[in-house]
Amino acid sequence: MRPLRVVFVFLCLAAGLSAKYAAAATCSADKLGVARTLVLSTKGGFEVGFKSYPQSLDLADHEVVLTFDDGPSPKTTPAVLAALGKECVKATFFLIGRNAAANPALVRREVAEGHTIGNHTYSHPILRLLTEAAARADIDKGFAADEKAARQPTSFFRFPGFADTPALRAWLKSRDIGIFGADLWASDWLTMTPDEERELVLERLRKAGRGILLLHDTKQSTAAMLPALLRDLKTGGFKIVHIVPGDAKPVFRKAPSGWTSETEAILAKVLRTRAAKRTNPAAAHLPE
Ligand SMILES: [Zn+2]
């Protein structure tokens, strides 16, 4: 080997090693990190998230599961991944199939960086407004597109707008799919400044004390406020729980007596408005 090439190879090796140690060093105790990994078997299916269902994951006080819907987007997802990476945090991305098909490298980056992938349909329709066959087809196409981009299977699913139906829930359960609603959300489908969004999330988290948090990695305000939010979670004593599919039977936390579905009330209102005005329900601030 010529001397110059020897030097080049040595420098590359040194750079690789230092990058490896630098990555380990940056995940120090002052970072938010992952407090625990929660393995969830989806065998037989389940539904979690108090906004829609009377049970959620059995999280301890101050434990938070971060979930991001509707991506990936080349405009905003890289910033979200960078913010998560900087704090050594793992999240779950519920992908829209057509976005995964258009941005497979971003999906592979999510997987490579240790995040969990779930499906959020192929084209983000309000499934309740489709025929059963059309709804199933969009979900199936979404799983296929997400899994092709991720190069791995997924058994996690979230309904767009939380607009489930009893028939679709039963069908997903028969296919061993875990259905995720949310315990709280950022309302980032509304126009807000990053600081307003961050303060709203923190206020809701302090009030709820724990929960599955819904965010959107497609929203500029979310991407912009995420670094500061993760710092706030650290200083506020919140702990990140990373959910992954696996073999452990899930443990659920039941809703207090008097529970009602918040999303059902929103959907009823939005769909009534749509019927009256013949407008697109997505325009009426349905949770996305
Ligand atoms: Zn969505």
> Which of 115, 120, 124, 216 is labelled catalytic?
216
Distance 211 CA to ligand 1 centre (A): 18
CB 184 within 8 A of CB 211: yes
Beta strands in the chain (DSSP E): 36-40, 46-48, 55-57, 63-69, 92-95, 116-119, 156-157, 178-180, 184-185, 211-216, 239-245, 252-254
> Which of 69, 70, 138, 183 is labelled catalytic?
69
All domains in the chain, ordered by first residue: 29-259 (3.20.20.370)
Distance 93 CA to ligand 1 centre (A): 11
Residuewise pLDDT in 10s, the chain (288 residues): 444 444 444 443 444 444 444 444 478 999 999 999 999 999 999 999 999 999 999 999 999 999 999 999 999 999 999 999 999 999 999 999 999 999 999 999 999 999 999 999 999 999 999 999 999 999 999 999 999 999 999 999 999 999 999 999 999 999 999 999 999 999 999 999 999 999 999 999 999 999 999 999 999 999 999 999 999 999 999 999 999 999 999 999 999 999 999 999 999 998 888 777 765 555 556 788
Distance 67 CA to ligand 1 centre (A): 11
Q: Which amino acid is at 36?
A: R
DSSP 80-126: HHHHHHHTT---EEEE-HHHHHH-HHHHHHHHHTT-EEEE--SS---
**216 annotated active-site:** yes
**69 annotated active-site:** yes
Predicted TM-score (pTM) of the model is 0.89
